[in-house]
Amino acid sequence: MITAPLLLMTVILPLASLLLAFRSRWQEIYRYSLPLLPIPAILAGLMAELDNWLELPWLLIGGVWGLDELRQTFLLLTSVLWATAGIFAVGYLTPRKLRAFCVFWALTLTGNLGLIISVDLASFYSFFALMTFAAYGLVVHESTDEANRAGRVYLAMAVAGEMALLTGLLMAAQQADSMLLGQLPAAIASSEQRWLIIALLVSGFGVKAGLPFLHFWLPLAHPVAPTPASAVLSGAMIKAGLLGWLVTLPFGELSLPTWGNTLVILGAIGALGGAVLGLKQVRPKTILAYSSISQMGLITLMVGAAMANTAQAATLFSAIALYALHHGLAKGCLFLSTAVELPAERRSRWLVWLLIGLPGLSLAGLPFTSGAAAKFAMKNALKPEQYEFAMAEYLPLIMSAGAVATMLLIWRFLWALHQSAQTGNNHRFKWLGWVAASVCSLVAFWFLPGARSTAGHSWFAVTPSEAWSLIWPIALATAIAGAWWFVRGRNDTGIS
């Protein structure tokens, strides 16, 4: 009974908040309402009945909204991250262009939440477009030359992506003779132009997901946005591209080894190349943006494997959802921490560094963190003996290299942050938002439905060999970073 109102409110509340933009003197109210906007979505993620579709036949070309297991995980990730980033934003924002920021924030949020609950194509594509175009306002918010340039690159690539999507979706929908997303995979699998449709959808969503060679906008745009916006861009919106892949591509219909190989190669390039480029960066937020490309590369490995082997698609989907949930929450924390000012007092300063570092270590897969659960799920799902496509045997190697690269990048980030971090007092909402995000990443993660079903057991039931498989990449990366630090001298600021 409660499902329909929650789904409707998920979209309507952030849209209705636009009324607060009518008077400039209401902008302070708008600021404080930002954390509240994703609340219906959080409730929907926790309470809505799954596979209970809400039909809106008058909407667009026939609207159908609802949640299944996959969408539930994505909705929770997205709404929780937007809520914590929203709390952070209350303390972060200055009065300059505050109203504009709130409007674009609300619109982008509407799109990001709406696309997750859309089960029909037209709603999905509408919300996707809303998110894409509204996010431009967040990217260029600071209106520096750098932001404007990033905005231009972002918009150009986004529009190109939209066109690829339009074409791919049109062809798929025509083949399916249906506007339901659920009908597309089978239709694509049986289409004669399968290759073209898949290429269009992989690249169209790939722009958003930071797929290598379609990623150019990402390291420019994610860092220039105001910090709370960077957090949702890199944590939540990047996952919209992933969700797009998962709901449209012909998983579970047909094994496509060529696509599997292609995506695994792209994933490897993203995972390792993203890290290498990230190591060369100086600014903390840019390093994090490259880390997102790297992490999405690892996820792309799983997407590729699912394309290559129908039988594994279901297992891989849970692993992908878990990984997305873990990465989104952790990356959100890391981005927020770039704007946290360090306390002057020595002991609390160490505490803050610990809280900054933990989500990073989680990304690297430290035992007892969400990252460990995600990595376990990924490793189990990507055991080479389950696959026959050519790239399968390299999967463990890529994953191990990816883990080392991740940790190296985290050290690089911490070092860069250490160089640039300032001492001072934080607005209490900044504390609150950042701590809330960290709590979600480190603690609440285990209680969210997506994590409960897939990984609930693995954090306390670790065998020594499993623990070793998680720890050696961290140790190796730490040794490399330490050696580097020792060689280059303690006062060196960057790696050229």
Residues that bind another protein (CB under 8 A): 57-62, 100, 122-123, 125-126, 129, 133, 137, 140, 143, 148, 151, 155, 159-160, 162-163, 166-167, 170-171, 173-174
Q: Least Å distance between CB 170 and another protein? A: 4
Q: Least Å distance between CB 163 and another protein? A: 5
CB burial of residue 346 (10 Å; 0-12, 13-18, 19+): exposed
Q: Least Å distance between CB 61 and another protein? A: 6
User: Which token pair is 219?
Assistant: 């390291």
Length of the chain equals: 496
Residue 63 — φ and ψ, nearest 5°? -95, 140
Q: Which is nearer to another protein, 118 or 406 (CB)?
A: 118
Q: Least Å distance between CB 57 and another protein? A: 6
Q: Is the Cβ–Cβ distance between 402 and 272 less than 8 Å?
A: yes
How far apart are alpha carbons 423 and 457 in whole angstroms? 40
Q: Which is nearer to another protein, 141 or 326 (CB)?
A: 141
How far apart are alpha carbons 245 and 172 in whole angstroms? 13
Q: Least Å distance between CB 131 and another protein? A: 12
How far apart are alpha carbons 243 and 248 in whole angstroms? 9
How far apart are alpha carbons 261 and 284 in whole angstroms? 33
User: Which token pair is 317?
Assistant: 């989907």
Distance of CA 361 to the CA centre of its chain: 17
For 390, residues 6+ apart whose C-beta sits below 8 A from its C-beta are 257, 261
Q: Least Å distance between CB 56 and another protein? A: 9
Q: Which is nearer to another protein, 123 or 362 (CB)?
A: 123
For 75, residues 6+ apart whose C-beta sits below 8 A from its C-beta are 10, 41, 44, 45, 67, 113, 116, 117
Q: Which is nearer to another protein, 192 or 385 (CB)?
A: 192
Residue 120 — φ and ψ, nearest 5°? -100, 155
Q: Is the Cβ–Cβ distance between 139 and 175 less than 8 Å?
A: no
Q: Which is nearer to another protein, 107 or 336 (CB)?
A: 107
Q: Least Å distance between CB 20 and another protein? A: 14
Q: Which is nearer to another protein, 126 or 469 (CB)?
A: 126
Q: Which is nearer to another protein, 116 or 455 (CB)?
A: 116
